[in-house]
């Protein structure tokens, strides 16, 4: 869970959806309460958690998926040093509708500002 340090309020969550120690790999996912969007919390938590994954959990590769059109999610991944690696066409079905899914990856030895 991600808390706002000033108030202690829970503002969202970030998780590792799957971890493979053998492949040194995990998939990152997150959701935030709409009332707290646009404050930079999602970006800050993503950077902290992914750094922890590389440095302390010794996971080499991290992945994240976004639905095509989720510009905020694409943006926070790029700000956290993830690179767009490709698009899987019509991979996701939501409420009967197909959507492209975009794959992002970050490696422990990728360098980002």
Ligand X SMILES: CC(C)(COP(=O)(O)OP(=O)(O)OC[C@H]1O[C@@H](n2cnc3c(N)ncnc32)[C@H](O)[C@@H]1OP(=O)(O)O)[C@@H](O)C(=O)NCCC(=O)NCCS
- The binding site for ligand X (CB under 6 A) comprises 30-32, 37-43, 65-66, 70-73, 75-76
Q: Of the two residues 26 and 76, which places its CB atom closer to ligand X in the complex?
A: 76
Q: Measured between alpha carbons, how far apart are the two ends of the chain, in Å?
A: 26
Alpha-carbon distance of 57 to 103, in angstroms, equals 22
Residue 40: which region, alpha, beta or left (left: phi > 0; alpha: psi -120 to 50)? left
Please state, in angstroms and rounded to a whole number, the distance separating the CA atoms of residues 12 and 32: 4
Please identify the residue of the shown chain whose CB is closest to the bound ligand X. Answer: 71
* Minimum distance from residue 39 beta carbon to ligand X (Å): 5
What is the closest distance, in whole angstroms, from the C-beta atom of residue 82 to ligand X in the complex? 11
From the CB of 17, what's the least distance to ligand X, in Å?
A: 11
Q: Is 54 or 73 the residue whose CB approaches ligand X more closely? A: 73
């Amino acid at each position: 869970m991600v808390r706002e340090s000033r108030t202690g309020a829970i503002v969202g969550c970030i998780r590792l959806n799957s971890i493979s120690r053998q492949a040194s790999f995990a998939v990152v996912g997150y959701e935030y309460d709409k009332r707290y969007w646009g404050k930079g919390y999602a970006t800050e938590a993503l950077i902290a958690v992914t750094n922890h994954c590389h440095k302390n959990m010794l996971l080499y590769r991290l992945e994240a998926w976004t639905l095509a059109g989720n510009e905020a999610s694409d943006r926070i991944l790029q700000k956290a040093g993830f690179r767009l690696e490709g698009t899987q066409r019509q991979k996701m079905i939501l409420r009967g509708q197909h959507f492209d899914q975009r794959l992002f990856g970050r490696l422990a030895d990728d360098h980002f500002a």
